[in-house]
């Protein structure tokens, strides 16, 4: 699936805006239209739009509905309806006809509606959305308050992870067209630093050839059994790099007997990422990751795509001299990854697999995990900003059952993409059993917070000891993918005590000092970029407050110090 665009051969319009909304209080015929209980915004999570508990916390079926007209000049085209993400399950009906469904939030899905859409009258689109998580879903949820790690036991709603389970149509809904005779279906661009570009792809329908144009030159490739491959070289290529986002366009025309049936322009960057010894190399030079774990989370809209928030967040990342972030704990919007491409930010792209607990894992959990990982790679593999895949965060990888499970995940990623390193984020330190399958060790460590509270000097020693033991066990570069302290903006304390801005600053600076003493440490990602909403729990005060920035994106004290440290790259 390629990201939909309006081109010279394709039209596109979005179905964003105000939709009707109703909870499925009892089974019924919602698919043919229903009486709304409320109005809802798309894209957005629905939860924080509403005040009543029975709407805000509803995770069973809800229905979205709207109508649209189809311009009749498009009647000879193939018409596609696309959802950029629906959490957790989406099932769509057009004019009462079931189009299909999709499971796992955060990845796109689409339906060919050519034979269902009506050019003569209004079309009614009804979408059932459901956010019931279980042992079979990725992420898992509703484990009867028996999660691991223990700090999330007893929270409301019952999730084994530490962010609010927002639900709804989170990203744009689009209708786009292609030619009926033939259209470009997939494009995979791989590059080498000498400027060699390989483009492979799939064409559906009757076309016999594609013409690729880049930087004023063109090559033609024949389409055989629906597939094509072509290569060209860019002279004096400018590499894509951190905050140096050199990008190119390749325009692909699907042709038949001289007619251009489809045309699509794919942006790409030329860069190389690899792991060598204890270093991650970007374009042959070691790169040290400095940045954050994050969330798609903002007041009122929850996890809904908002371009203004995304732009502001990247401005703040640049201000603080960060070079990277991890899409904790799920794939972020494709539009955001495209922005990282345009701006030169390094991304560790994570599957939505947080807190997989092997006490509860079923065959279906693994199937859902493999499916969503494949969808993520298909979606993001052409984006140069994505420099590493993360298959999961904090699974119970100290249990032997995790070994075959993670072997399969790592094999899948490597079979789909051999050009990027792969990581897994552990919280089991040297007791992790699956690190042999990964190139870089990601680890979340909270000395000075969940253990050794208030004791910065001891926390530093603890971090050093843990990291040294991990390096001895795994002999791979280690990135500290989370560390930090909850902090109430405006709370001060001398001497520094937990929850104060002084404590967050002292702890984070102290731990960074230790990381930078250790040669095998390849990155420091503070938890979290900004405060964010969680489930209710006695350890969370109005959400998780480990943000360096507040939820409305104002800097806490720590930011001014970190900005100084990050002014010069470690190497």
Known catalytic residue at 54: no
Least distance between ligand GCB and beta carbon 188 (Å): 31
Question: Closer CB to ligand GCB, residue 125 or residue 445?
Answer: 445
Q: Is 357 in the site for ligand GCB (CB under 6 A)?
A: no
The interface with ligand GCB within residues 321-340 (CB under 6 A) comprises 329
Question: Closer CB to ligand GCB, residue 272 or residue 297?
Answer: 297
Question: Closer CB to ligand GCB, residue 36 or residue 157?
Answer: 157
Q: Is 393 in the site for ligand GCB (CB under 6 A)?
A: yes
Is the Cβ–Cβ distance between 332 and 386 less than 8 Å?
A: no
Can you name the residues that pair with 61 across neighbouring β-strands? none
- How far is it, in rounded angstroms, from Cα 325 to Cα 526? 9
Question: Closer CB to ligand GCB, residue 344 or residue 523?
Answer: 523
Contact letters for ligand GCB, residues 514-543 (x by CB under 6 A): -------------x----------------
Q: Is 397 in the site for ligand GCB (CB under 6 A)?
A: no
User: Structure tokens of 270?
Assistant: 């030329």
Least distance between ligand GCB and beta carbon 154 (Å): 15
Residues 6+ apart with CB under 8 A from 483: 444, 445, 446, 447, 463, 508, 511, 524, 526, 527
Question: Closer CB to ligand GCB, residue 406 or residue 449?
Answer: 449
- How far is it, in rounded angstroms, from Cα 74 to Cα 120? 12
- How far is it, in rounded angstroms, from Cα 338 to Cα 336? 5
- How far is it, in rounded angstroms, from Cα 561 to Cα 571? 19
Q: Is 162 in the site for ligand GCB (CB under 6 A)?
A: yes
Binds ligand GCB by CB under 6 A, chosen from 77, 394, 501, 506:
394
| Residue among 482, 502, 506, 524 flagged as catalytic | 482
The CA R_g of the chain, rounded to the nearest whole Å, is 24
User: Structure tokens of 48?
Assistant: 């924080």
Question: Closer CB to ligand GCB, residue 157 or residue 286?
Answer: 157
Least distance between ligand GCB and beta carbon 412 (Å): 23
461 cis-preceded (ω within 30 degrees of 0):
no
CA dihedral 37, 41, 46, 48 (to 10 degrees): -110
Binds ligand GCB by CB under 6 A, chosen from 128, 326, 381, 546:
546
Least distance between ligand GCB and beta carbon 444 (Å): 4
Q: Is 148 in the site for ligand GCB (CB under 6 A)?
A: no
Question: Closer CB to ligand GCB, residue 83 or residue 325?
Answer: 325
Sign of the CA dihedral 383, 347, 544, 352?
positive
# residues contacting ligand GCB (CB under 6 A): 11
Least distance between ligand GCB and beta carbon 486 (Å): 7
Contact letters for ligand GCB, residues 174-213 (x by CB under 6 A): ----------------------------------------
- How far is it, in rounded angstroms, from Cα 518 to Cα 464? 8
Is the Cβ–Cβ distance between 305 and 335 less than 8 Å?
A: yes
Q: Is 166 in the site for ligand GCB (CB under 6 A)?
A: no
Least distance between ligand GCB and beta carbon 435 (Å): 17
Q: Which residue is nearest to ligand GCB (CB)?
A: 162
Binds ligand GCB by CB under 6 A, chosen from 59, 110, 432, 482:
482
Cα 382 to Cα 187, 188, 201, 257, 513: the distances in Å are 8, 6, 12, 29, 36
Residues 6+ apart with CB under 8 A from 207: 181, 182, 223, 254, 255, 256, 261, 262
Q: Is 544 in the site for ligand GCB (CB under 6 A)?
A: yes
Least distance between ligand GCB and beta carbon 425 (Å): 7
Least distance between ligand GCB and beta carbon 152 (Å): 8
User: Structure tokens of 439?
Assistant: 């190139």
Question: Closer CB to ligand GCB, residue 476 or residue 525?
Answer: 525
- How far is it, in rounded angstroms, from Cα 287 to Cα 387? 11
The phi, psi pair for 264, rounded to 5°, reads -150, 140
> Which string of b and e fits 226-253 if b means at least 16 CB within 10 Å?
eebebebebeebebbbbeebeebebebb
Reduced to 3 states (helix: H, G, I; strand: E, B; else coil), residue 67 is strand
Question: Closer CB to ligand GCB, residue 314 or residue 326?
Answer: 326
Question: Closer CB to ligand GCB, residue 344 or residue 547?
Answer: 547
- How far is it, in rounded angstroms, from Cα 489 to Cα 470? 34
Least distance between ligand GCB and beta carbon 481 (Å): 8
Is the Cβ–Cβ distance between 449 and 486 less than 8 Å?
A: yes
Least distance between ligand GCB and beta carbon 32 (Å): 41
Is the Cβ–Cβ distance between 395 and 358 less than 8 Å?
A: yes
| Residue among 77, 130, 334, 394 flagged as catalytic | 394
Known catalytic residue at 394: yes
Can you name the residues that pair with 249 across neighbouring β-strands? 267
Binds ligand GCB by CB under 6 A, chosen from 333, 396, 444, 505:
444
Contact letters for ligand GCB, residues 401-440 (x by CB under 6 A): --------------------------x-------------
Catalytic residues: 394, 482
Question: Which residues in this chain contact ligand GCB in the complex, by CB under 6 A?
Answer: 161-162, 329, 393-394, 427, 444, 482, 527, 544, 546
């Amino acid at each position: 699936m390629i990201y939909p665009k309006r081109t010279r051969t394709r039209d596109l319009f979005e179905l964003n805006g105000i939709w009707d909304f109703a909870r499925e209080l009892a089974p019924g015929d919602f698919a043919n239209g229903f009486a709304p209980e409320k109005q809802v915004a798309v894209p957005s999570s629905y939860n924080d739009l509403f005040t009543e508990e029975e709407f805000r916390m509803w995770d069973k079926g809800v229905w979205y509905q709207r109508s649209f007209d189809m311009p009749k000049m498009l009647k000879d085209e193939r018409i596609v309806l696309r959802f950029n993400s629906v959490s957790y399950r989406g099932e769509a009906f057009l004019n009462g006809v079931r189009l299909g469904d999709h499971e796992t939030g955060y990845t796109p899905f689409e339906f060919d509606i050519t034979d269902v859409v009506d050019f003569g009258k209004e079309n009614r689109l009804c979408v059932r959305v459901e956010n019931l998580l279980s042992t079979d879903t990725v992420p898992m949820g509703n484990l009867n308050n028996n999660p691991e790690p223990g700090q999330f036991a007893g929270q409301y709603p019952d999730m084994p992870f530490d962010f609010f389970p927002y639900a709804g149509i989170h990203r744009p809904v689009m209708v786009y067209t292609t030619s009926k005779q033939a259209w470009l279906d997939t494009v995979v661009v791989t590059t080498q630093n000498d400027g060699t570009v390989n483009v492979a792809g799939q064409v559906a329908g009757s076309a016999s050839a594609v013409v690729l144009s880049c930087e004023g030159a063109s090559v033609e490739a024949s389409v055989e059994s629906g597939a094509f491959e072509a290569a060209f070289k860019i002279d004096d290529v400018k590499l894509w790099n951190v905050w140096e986002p050199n990008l190119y366009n390749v325009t692909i025309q699907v042709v038949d007997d001289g007619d251009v049936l489809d045309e699509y322009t794919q942006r790409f960057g030329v860069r190389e990422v690899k792991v060598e010894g204890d270093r991650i190399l970007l374009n042959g030079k070691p790169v040290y990751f400095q940045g954050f774990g994050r969330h798609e989370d903002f007041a009122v809209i929850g996890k809904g795509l908002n371009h203004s928030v995304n732009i502001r967040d990247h401005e703040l990342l640049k201000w603080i001299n960060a070079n990277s972030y991890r899409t904790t704990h799920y794939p972020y919007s494709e539009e955001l990854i495209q922005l990282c491409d345009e701006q030169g930010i390094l991304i560790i792209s994570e599957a939505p697999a947080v807190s997989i607990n092997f006490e509860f894992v079923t065959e279906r959990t693994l199937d859902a995990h493999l499916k969503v990982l494949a969808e993520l790679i298909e979606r993001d593999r052409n984006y140069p900003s994505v420099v590493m895949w993360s298959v999961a965060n904090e699974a119970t990888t100290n249990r032997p059952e995790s070994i075959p499970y993670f072997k399969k995940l790592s094999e899948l990623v490597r079979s789909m993409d051999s050009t990027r390193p792969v990581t897994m984020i552990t919280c089991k330190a040297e007791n992790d059993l699956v690190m042999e399958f990964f190139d870089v060790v990601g680890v979340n460590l909270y000395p000075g917070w969940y253990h050794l509270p208030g004791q910065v000097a001891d926390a530093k020693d603890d971090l050093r000891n843990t990291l040294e033991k991990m390096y001895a066990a795994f002999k791979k570069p280690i990135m500290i993918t989370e560390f930090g302290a909850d902090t109430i903006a405006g709370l001060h304390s001398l001497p520094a005590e937990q929850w104060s801005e002084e404590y967050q600053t002292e702890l984070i600076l102290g731990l960074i000092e230790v990381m930078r003493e250790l040669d095998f440490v390849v990155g420091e990602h503070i938890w979290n970029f900004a405060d964010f909403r969680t489930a209710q729990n006695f350890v969370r005060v109005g959400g998780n407050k480990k943000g360096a920035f507040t939820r409305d994106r104002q800097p806490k004290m720590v930011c001014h110090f970190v900005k100084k440290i990050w002014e010069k790259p470690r190497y």
